[in-house]
Amino acid sequence: MAGSLAFDEYGRPFIIVRDQDRKSRLTGIEAHKSHILAAKTVAGVLKSSLGPKGLDKMMVGPDGDVTITNDGATILKQMDVEHQIAKLMVQLSQSQDDEIGDGTTGVVVLAGALLEHAEKLLDRGIHPIRIADGYEMAAKVAFEHLDTISEQFKTDPKNKEPLIQLAMTTLGSKIVNRCHRQMAEIAVDAILAVADFDTKDVNFELIKVEGKVGGKMEDTMLVKGVIVDKDFSHPQMPKEVKDAKMAILTCPFEPPKPKTKHGLEVKSVEDYHKLREYEVQKFNTMVQQVKDAGANLVICQWGFDDEANHLLLQRKLPAVRWVGGPEIELIAIATGGRIVPRFEELTKEKLGHAGIVRELDFGTTKDKMLVIEQCANSKAVTIFLRGGNKMIIEEGKRSIHDALCVIRNLVTDDRIVYGGGASEISCSLAVSEAANKVSTLEQYAMRSFAEALESIPLALAENSGSSPIHTLADIKSRQLKEKNPRLGIDCLFKDTNDMKEQHVIETLSSKRAQIMLAVQLTKMILKIDDVRGGEQQMGGYPGMM
């Protein structure tokens, strides 16, 4: 590597290393082309995972752990992406997941399509700012059109069927579609249990999703209470406690230790016996304090040794140890109890109440879990997933999370549009029509926006094994003729393109968020015309995976 010698103000020599050959700086159209290539590559990876017939991706982590999923946010999160624009696409998918919980694949495919069409406009000499402005105008037209084609979707807790149909749309492309309806019902029941329809709010903290390997996916159930992956601390303790009054402790069943650097020397047998008596006395005092408060079950965040465990068994006080912080909080919320940091502070008022606490056994593995049911605050629920292996459980958790988010969105905003690419085709036609009325250069960007919207139905048709161009052309002409915005891609071959008949429904908030986030990211990328520093990965093909 070339270098030259120089001297500082004290006459000390140092070498200046020239590494400009390793650095790159992209400007103008070159920078735009590099960014668009990166975005197209990421969108291309996800495109085949879109829709009910979408394919899964296998992600192998640095430790060799395997994840199989078709959830866009999960795929991108686990991809080893190096290019800076590709990283922005990962963040785009993540923000859709955080805000809406569904549509994480669609938003990336749409952003990739918008940038791909922007590249053609750049080649024709249109300025990137004019393209960004045109996309903004087109997005406004699309939003207004979505409002006109949306329908009110009444969320009535007594009539769950429409909500179940909505959840089934979300779960259609997931691994859990073997027990499609059962999973949808569980998701709906969970949301209805914790939803507040007056304030239109859903507290997700009250819904816990637990999984246990083994059993069939059909064994998945909804527990009106809390499941903890623990068992009673002693095998001879009762396996069931009815009318449980539980002390929820964050202090261990241990004698106090010297908090300073003082040492404790045991020099004789008498000293040892004294220490032993002191420990037993302290244990007895702790157990008595719990008994005096009226508790018949102890939930402890920390462990306790065999001596304390044996004493609890003798005094007929069932206990659970090493219960994690989040579980402790959820148990306290569900049972209406208070978390107590010191035995002296324990009172009858601070106890949590539950109708029954029982132990669950699993097959021949001798695994055990605790179920706390009939809680004082009946709103806390747990979805308990079963599956053949860890990968299925993890994918099941992601699928249930998507379904929960979609139903939550419907509680907060009860407007829907129809899926299967129907709303995208309808918006595409509306934007094309609006573009004809624009006399400025932005009309080209608006037409490109309309074409980009068609990438979603095209991908759906392609993944379903249909001829994409013919299918899309047919649906577009029928939507124009029949003035029916519900016509979409028949991915499941049910011999009808009317998505209302197929019960393929999407929340309006999800569709709006997809378009808004995709347009915002596209505008941001189009405005970058200079990239400085970094290794050669900044230019050319994006370093990925």
pLDDT, one tens digit per residue, over 284-333 is 888 888 888 888 888 988 887 777 888 888 888 888 888 888 888 888 88
* Better pLDDT: 84 or 20: 84
Dist. CA 223–CA 190, nearest whole Å: 9
For position 364, what pLDDT does the model report?
65
Q: pLDDT tens digits for 345-397?
A: 888 888 888 888 888 877 666 778 888 888 876 678 889 888 888 888 888 88
Q: Which long-range contacts (CB under 8 A, 24 or more apart) does 468-476 make?
A: 472/425, 475/421, 475/422, 475/425, 476/425, 476/428, 476/429
Give the range among 119-123, 152-156, 268-272, 507-511 with minimum mean pLDDT.
152-156
- SS3 of residue 212 by DSSP: strand
Looking at residue 50, what is its pLDDT?
A: 87
Residue 54: CA count within 13 A, CB half-sphere = 31
pLDDT at 448 > cutoff 90: yes
| HEC per residue, 457-479 | HHHHHHHCCCCHHHHHHHHHHHH
190's enclosing H/E stretch is: helix 180-194
pTM above 0.85, yes or no: no
Element (H, E) at 359: strand 352-362
DSSP character at residue 262: -
Return the SS3 of 321.
Answer: coil
Say whether pLDDT at 524 is over 80.
yes
- Strand 297-300 and strand 319-320: pairing? parallel
Confidence at residue 141, expressed as pLDDT on a 0 to 100 scale: 94
Q: How high does pLDDT run on average in the chain?
A: 83
What percentage of the chain reaches a pLDDT higher than 90?
A: 16
Roughly how many angstroms between the first and final C-alpha of the chain, as a whole number? 29
Higher per-residue pLDDT: 162 or 145: 145
What is the C-alpha radius of gyration for the chain, rounded to an integer number of angstroms? 30
Two structure tokens written together for 158 = 């007594």
| Domain edges within the chain | 25-152+418-532, 156-218+381-413, 225-377
- Nearest Cα neighbor of 518 from 150, 139, 121 is 139
Residue type, 500: K
Nearest to 455, CA basis, from 106, 34, 8, 90: 106
Catalytic residue set = 71, 104-105, 402
* Res. 420 pLDDT band, cuts 50 70 90: confident
Say if residues 290 and 346 touch (Cβ distance below 8 Å): yes
SS3 390: helix
Dihedral of CA atoms 508, 511, 513, 514 in degrees, nearest 10, equals: 180
Residues 6+ positions from 483 with CB-CB distance below 8 Å: none
CATH number of 156-218+381-413: 3.30.260.10
CA–CA separation, 113 and 125 (whole Å): 19
Can you tell me the distance from the alpha carbon of 218 to that of 202, in angstroms, rounded to the nearest whole number? Answer: 26
Q: What does residue 396 show for φ and ψ, rounded to 5 degrees?
A: -60, -40
CATH superfamily of 225-377: GroEL (3.50.7.10)
| Alpha carbon 319 to its chain's center | 34
Nearest alpha carbon to residue 234 among 355, 176, 317, 129: 317
> Is 138 or 334 the better-scoring residue by pLDDT?
138
- Whether 225-377 and 156-218+381-413 are alike in CATH topology: the answer is no
Q: In 3-state terms, what secondary structure has residue 245?
A: strand
Q: Is residue 431 predicted with pLDDT exceeding 90?
A: yes
Structural class in CATH, domain 25-152+418-532: mainly alpha
pLDDT tens by residue, 205-243: 888 888 888 878 888 888 888 888 888 888 888 888 888
